[in-house]
Amino acid sequence: MNVRGIHPSTNQAIDIETKGGLVEHVRLSDESAGPFVSPGWIDLQVNGFAGVDYNDPASPADQIARSIDIQRSTGVARLYPTVITGSRQDMIGSLCNLARARRDLANGGAMLGFHVEGPWISPRDGPRGAHPKPHVRPPTVGEFERFQEAAEGNVRLVTLSPEHAEAPAVIEHMVASGVVVSIGHTDATASQIADAIKAGATMSTHLGNGAASMVPRHDNYIIHQLADDRLYAGLIVDGIHLPPPFAKIAIRAKGPDKAILVTDAVAPAHCRPGLYKLGEQEVELLPEQRVELASSRRLAGSALSMDRGIENSMRFAGLALFQSTRLASSNPGKAMGLEDRSGYLEPGQAADFTVFRLSTEGRVEVERTITV
């Protein structure tokens, strides 16, 4: 298979030859025009999409397949369906359901693995975000193993708060089993964050969100994660979760190698305004594309798609197109330790591509997403 397009870094036309699911050669092309091509975009945090809730153990497989296809229309080639805090029964049921879908669906391979976000998070209002408080609990190795068994070994990313005394030992266990651990929904101190990193945590989940509305101006868990160069940072760049100046500062602080675009999308993403479900909770998509818990009006995930996130990162942070698409492709690949998804249109990389145009107004228009 050959793919032709404009390289976002050089603006040169290129021909990409693939073999066996990998890029074999990248050559300059005689063609002078056409769409851009980048590595396929990867979403590390997506709770649902197109009306489908990944936190519902009864979500039909055909609807999960449809949601994957619609995400591909927004440029996402691969994703990590995300299961949030709930009862042990519901979380295990959701992971079992997703594992069956990954195994059985024709497009199930789009799910590179699963992201378990909670239940081992802060019980405190603010840092807990939209996660239901009755189900928040300390981490245990035993519960992690039950989640992993239900997921058929596909849990690849776990978000937890290091404020739990049990966190370092559980982090060490998960990292030793090949899981990436991310700090999130936390009220942890600087020393607790440092202990989590020492134990093997390498990411921050939607940094700047899942936080109290007021924190100490200098000594706080956002600053400590932002300043630590060892941590990748997922960012929801929708203009709702993060004010544009914070998104700009966070991307600059993490630099071009450690910032990652995530959507944190929930079921109402790509849908009309109205009421939807996020696990056991009812959420509402408002006309301004804000998703809130119907009960408390707290933010509850997003309606963001990755193409809009790339647009916003260029507009808010002044990134070039090449830089912005790295935040959605090679950076999440590196964060997850995927060698074949850590480069940018290089031989040996996975043959997933997002082909798109950029309008004069800066709008990303996806033409097709190619996966092998």
Tell me how far apart the alpha carbons of residues 93 and 165 are, in angstroms, rounded to a whole number: 27
- Concerning whether 53 is annotated as a catalytic residue, the answer is no
Tell me how far apart the alpha carbons of residues 140 and 334 are, in angstroms, rounded to a whole number: 27
All residues at 6 or more sequence positions from 62 whose CB lies less than 8 Å from its CB, including other chains: none
Using CB atoms within 10 Å of the CB of residue 131, give its burial: 0 to 12 exposed, 13 to 18 middle, 19+ buried: buried
Other Cβ atoms within 10 Å of 169 Cβ, number: 13
Tell me how far apart the alpha carbons of residues 289 and 263 are, in angstroms, rounded to a whole number: 13
Nearest to 137 by CA among 114, 157, 165: 165
Annotated catalytic residue within 264, 307, 340, 352: 264
Question: Which residues are registered as beta bridge partners of 299?
Answer: 292
Phi/psi region, residue 180 (left: phi>0; alpha: psi -120 to 50; beta: rest), is beta
First CA to last CA distance, the chain: 10
Tell me how far apart the alpha carbons of residues 96 and 147 are, in angstroms, rounded to a whole number: 9
Tell me how far apart the alpha carbons of residues 298 and 293 are, in angstroms, rounded to a whole number: 5
Could you list the active site residues?
264
